[in-house]
Structure 1
């Protein structure tokens, strides 16, 4: 005889969160996750009657993205949660009531953006303690609710409101920033250009604030970072401050930090099996000769570890030149990544603009027509032409983006005798070249993806990993 105290649920169930005013949400029961998680965007913590609270928005039904709810809950605190893809995120934790069928009990949940996931909620194993039995062979044991309950809720409204966007940059007058502002304003969003060199932060207990020119900045719905190497250290600190406040970013601070460290980038690409030129790094001058020999000798590309392709890179045409440059860099206490210099097949490399995991635009980078042009000519001096990458090149560029957890970046490829290789990933590249050569609205594509990141776009579904 079955134990009457045991309440059975399937591998997925419809449930209600009555204290949040959510009549029905389909949850995946995940015994591999310790903490339950709920889809949320525009997460704003606050204090009320001496208690820590949090307000957030969500789209409870993937099939009805026009439904937008705003909820409030008691805030337990913040906790680092590692997702199934290995990315660690600092999340707000709330405590509320959960109900499946006639069974109601208190649970804790983390808030995170699940806009691209099939399930807007995961029910972790902590929430299953106390008499819940999971039948992994069945689905929705406790029935399917009438979703028309959403039609009459007073706090439900269509998700067609402008967003407050923080555009973090150290170059507020650049053409790239101008195009991003144009794209944001074209969609009726409020673009706040935050010069990272003039912003400052405050931390008072658990209260975090951001200031510019002596004034407290408003709460932001999302952050759009466009940071050059010289602005990176403090710019990432500001971005982490916003993320701690619950603001979703186009490219996260963790992803940007990895992408701007060339060695870290190379290590992540290698871990995911992304093809790249042979690479080495040494810290001691007496290692230079052996390192150069390991990489097959000159020509070699030498890159300062932090920065993009056009800054801090040089091609050494001879072994003697490579050794000389390395010794000079060691003397300046600069760390240099040494990479096999790959001659481009056909004299052209590819620059692929990726948004999400999709290719938005691609140009070929032709060497200058000058007969004096050498391998060390920067990309800025080369001729850009619209190009069409192969299926394999698209796959490799998308794989590089996934390896670095980036949402928008330029992936540079070179066509070698052994196939396409990734030579650089730049999250702060000037995308105007793609608009000029192809006529594409690249800025609009970036803003559209940012909207989906914060739960504003129609979005798409994919299976949870």
Structure 2
């Protein structure tokens, strides 16, 4: 297999592991910075140049596109798709997952459990919007935040109104959700590859915080997800069109709920905690699909 990994930095752990895993399995692999790719689009065909030379003929492309370059990065990925390359996470699927509001609408429409979520635009509607959600605590999330950034917990109604008004003043896009207190600051990261959960870790928020992200000082341990949790994680990724995804679940009294579906999940934490070759599983899946 001739493989390209779209990544801004070849030294990042996840990118490096994908390259190592591909080469260990005898595949040809190259890392391409999506911001150095430029494209020619015409009815006669599609072309990509990279640092002054044409590139193409890749059997598969694995996107490692950060949130800050979503728009351009997905355009580059779409160009490779148009040129016949397979990708486990198509450009449109990444765009669906990156937009929290859109993702929640699509997941809820398929009956997948989620914390109750509200969204509105006009300041005159704030009081009624919050009444649709119910009493605090409330979780307020920026629509395109990552790694726990832009996620706030408000414990009083006045605080919720204040944060909502402040974010509207900044023209930020955000959603407001119910707080699942019984989870006690813990969630599950289920790593989905194809139609399997290949590794799961339980993340615990540090004392004084409710965000369990490892980037925020959370701790993690390997766990075996229940069959219901695995099925929900696989289905959530499938609904958004992702074949490689990090699905974050929370355990509630109403059963498992999806918090987020990450289209570019990091490998470092899950591989270390679970002692698993997740990169290898990704490469094997992509190789089988691109034949």
- Fold match (TM-score > 0.5): yes
- The 8 Å contact of residues 308 and 424 in structure 1, kept in 2 or not, is answered as no
Report the counterpart of residue 297 of structure 1 in structure 2: 135
The answer to whether residue 27 in structure 2 is matched with residue 185 in structure 1 is no
* CA deviation profile, 1:176-214 (whole Å, cap 9, x unmatched): 111111111111212121111211111244131111111
Distance 1:176 1:314, change over 3 A: same
The answer to whether residue 90 in structure 2 is matched with residue 255 in structure 1 is no
With structure 1 as the length reference, what TM-score do the two structures score?
0.60
SS of match in other structure, 1:310:
coil
Number of corresponding residues: 290
Q: What is the CA distance between 1:359 and its match in structure 2? A: 0.7
Uncovered stretches (5+) of structure 1, i.e. residues with no partner: 1-162, 456-465
- The 8 Å contact of residues 357 and 401 in structure 1, kept in 2 or not, is answered as no
Match of 1:443 among 272, 279, 287: 279
Q: 1:81-230 maps to which residues of 2 (within 5 A)?
A: 163-230=1-68
Report the counterpart of residue 66 of structure 1 in structure 2: none
Largest Rg, 1 or 2: 1
The answer to whether residue 235 in structure 2 is matched with residue 402 in structure 1 is no
Report the counterpart of residue 453 of structure 1 in structure 2: 289
Q: What is the CA distance between 1:261 and its match in structure 2? A: 0.8
Distance 1:395 1:376, change over 3 A: closer
Structure (1 or 2) with the greater strand fraction: 1
SS of match in other structure, 1:249:
coil
- The 8 Å contact of residues 299 and 341 in structure 1, kept in 2 or not, is answered as yes
Report the counterpart of residue 250 of structure 2 in structure 1: 414
Report the counterpart of residue 385 of structure 1 in structure 2: 221
- The 8 Å contact of residues 205 and 213 in structure 2, kept in 1 or not, is answered as no
The answer to whether residue 78 in structure 2 is matched with residue 243 in structure 1 is no
Structure with larger RCO (C-alpha < 8 A, sep 6+):
2
Q: What is the CA distance between 1:172 and its match in structure 2? A: 3.3
- The 8 Å contact of residues 309 and 424 in structure 1, kept in 2 or not, is answered as no
* CA deviation profile, 1:401-444 (whole Å, cap 9, x unmatched): 12112101111111111111111111112122121112111000
CA distance in 1, matches of 2:16, 2:182: 33
SS of match in other structure, 2:276:
coil
Structure (1 or 2) with the greater helix fraction: 2
Q: What is the CA distance between 1:321 and its match in structure 2? A: 2.0
Q: What is the CA distance between 1:349 and its match in structure 2? A: 1.4
CA distance in 2, matches of 1:310, 1:335: 16
Match of 1:364 among 194, 199, 202: 202
Match of 2:148 among 310, 313, 317: 310
Distance 1:307 1:448, change over 3 A: farther
* CA deviation profile, 1:91-120 (whole Å, cap 9, x unmatched): xxxxxxxxxxxxxxxxxxxxxxxxxxxxxx
RMSD: 1.6
Match of 1:374 among 209, 214, 233: 209
